[in-house]
């Protein structure tokens, strides 16, 4: 695959269009449509678009003189896809989707039906092939919750060693992720009194825009079956860990040394613990897939909960699960009908 084109070497029109997407305007200025994106997401999109320009520079260098929308024809995108045939369908989708997103932001009034057809085909390929990293690793939410709950029960006693406190902590994190599958950054950065608020027996998680991917405020009451586990951790295990710190901490999740867990330590703890409990390493993000899969298998009506549960701003990601749920419901209905027909025939005989 062609090398990415460095940002400083992009054509002026492309650099200006990209910067406009992420513009941070003042009170009286316009914000870019993706101005709320985090730096990491912006960098990923920049790298993907740089791949496109790198391929253009190598395969059709004369096209660099064109404006972004004039350059990104359906034919060129198909040729680029052919050059990316060794990449996973999900990677192809991300790269092409970035080019289409930028062009649509530049000229939203244009018809992009041909480009949307390409993206639709890539979506189908992704759904057909699945994600290699997820194969065998997306478990049902109840299995994950039960594993975490058992770990809490096994360590629900007088805590005599920091290892016991860590095990109770990990079990609590797994239970919370199973029923409230937030993104790992938000859950790993929970803090007492701000993003985790305690009012009597009720616990509420409040995430401001800086803690969510879409930049929107999110708030939810912690379900009782999780708040019980969380209360055990906060009242029994966390004080043991906190006592090992050099100072007072407000972070909810503390490590063995009493210091807050960073996002990588949080991810590693979840993956290692699920590997130990279930023989499958489940990352925090896969808890989100587990929630969507569990809801879709429950019923078509339950699948409609995927969007609010995962705090998505659109239904695109959940749509595949809606279809799966409708298919499962139809299959159950067919099985019921066949069973009734069989019984009817046996009665007639």
pLDDT in tens, 285-321: 787 776 665 554 444 444 344 444 444 444 444 444 3
For residues 208-235, give the mean pLDDT. Answer: 82
Q: Given pLDDT bands bounded at 50, 70 and 90, which one contains residue 151?
A: very high
65 contact partners, CB below 8 Å, separation of at least 6 = 11
- CA nearest to 244, candidates 230, 254, 233, 252: 254
Quick check: 323 pLDDT over 70? no
- CA nearest to 178, candidates 250, 238, 229, 237: 229
Quick check: 109 pLDDT over 90? no
User: Which position has the higher pLDDT, 58 or 219?
Assistant: 58
Q: What pLDDT does residue 57 have?
A: 95
Q: Any idea which of 21-30, 146-155, 194-203, 235-244 has the lowest mean pLDDT?
A: 21-30
Cβ contact 281:202 at 8 Å: no
CA separation (Å) from 254 to 5, 192, 245? 42, 12, 9
**All domains of the chain in start order, with CATH:** 7-129 (no CATH), 141-287 (1.10.443.10)
C-alpha 160/C-alpha 237 separation (Å) is: 10
Cβ contact 240:163 at 8 Å: no
| Buried/exposed code over 75-85 (b: 16+ C-beta within 10 A; e: otherwise) | ebbeebbeebe
Query: Model pTM?
Result: 0.55
The residue written with tokens 């490590």 in the block is 255
Q: What pLDDT does residue 293 have?
A: 57
Q: What pLDDT does residue 257 have?
A: 93
DSSP-assigned letter for residue 219: E
């Amino acid at each position: 695959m062609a090398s990415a084109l460095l940002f400083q070497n992009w054509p002026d029109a492309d650099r200006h269009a990209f910067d406009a997407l992420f513009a941070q305007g003042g009170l009286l200025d316009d914000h870019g449509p993706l101005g709320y994106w985090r730096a990491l997401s912006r960098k990923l999109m920049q790298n993907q678009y740089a791949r496109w320009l790198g391929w253009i520079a190598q395969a059709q260098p004369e096209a660099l003189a064109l404006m972004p929308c004039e350059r990104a024809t359906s034919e060129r995108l198909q040729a680029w896809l052919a050059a990316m045939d060794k990449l996973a369908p999900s990677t192809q989708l991300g790269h092409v989707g970035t080019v289409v997103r930028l062009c649509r932001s530049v000229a939203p009034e244009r018809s992009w039906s041909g480009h949307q057809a390409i993206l639709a085909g890539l979506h189908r390929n992704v759904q057909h092939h699945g994600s290699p990293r997820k194969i065998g690793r997306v478990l049902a939410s109840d299995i994950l919750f039960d594993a975490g709950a058992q770990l809490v029960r096994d360590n629900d006693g007088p805590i005599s060693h920091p290892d016991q406190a860590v095990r109770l902590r990990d079990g609590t994190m797994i239970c919370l992720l199973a029923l409230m599958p937030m993104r790992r950054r938000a859950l790993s950065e929970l803090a007492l009194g701000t993003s985790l608020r305690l009012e009597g027996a009720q616990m509420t998680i409040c995430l401001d825009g800086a803690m969510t991917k879409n930049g929107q405020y999110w708030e939810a009451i912690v379900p009782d079956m999780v708040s019980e586990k969380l209360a055990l951790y906060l009242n029994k295990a966390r004080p043991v860990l906190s006592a090992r710190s050099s100072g007072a901490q407000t972070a909810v999740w503390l490590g063995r040394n009493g210091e807050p867990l960073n996002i990588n330590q949080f991810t590693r703890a979840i993956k290692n613990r699920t590997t130990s409990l279930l023989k499958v390493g489940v990352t925090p993000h896969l808890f989100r897939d587990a929630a969507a899969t569990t809801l879709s298998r429950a019923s078509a009506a339950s699948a409609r909960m995927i969007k609010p549960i995962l705090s998505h701003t659109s239904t695109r990601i959940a749509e595949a699960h809606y279809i799966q749920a409708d298919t499962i419901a139809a299959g159950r209905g067919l099985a019921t009908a066949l069973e009734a027909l069989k019984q009817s025939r046996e009665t007639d005989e």
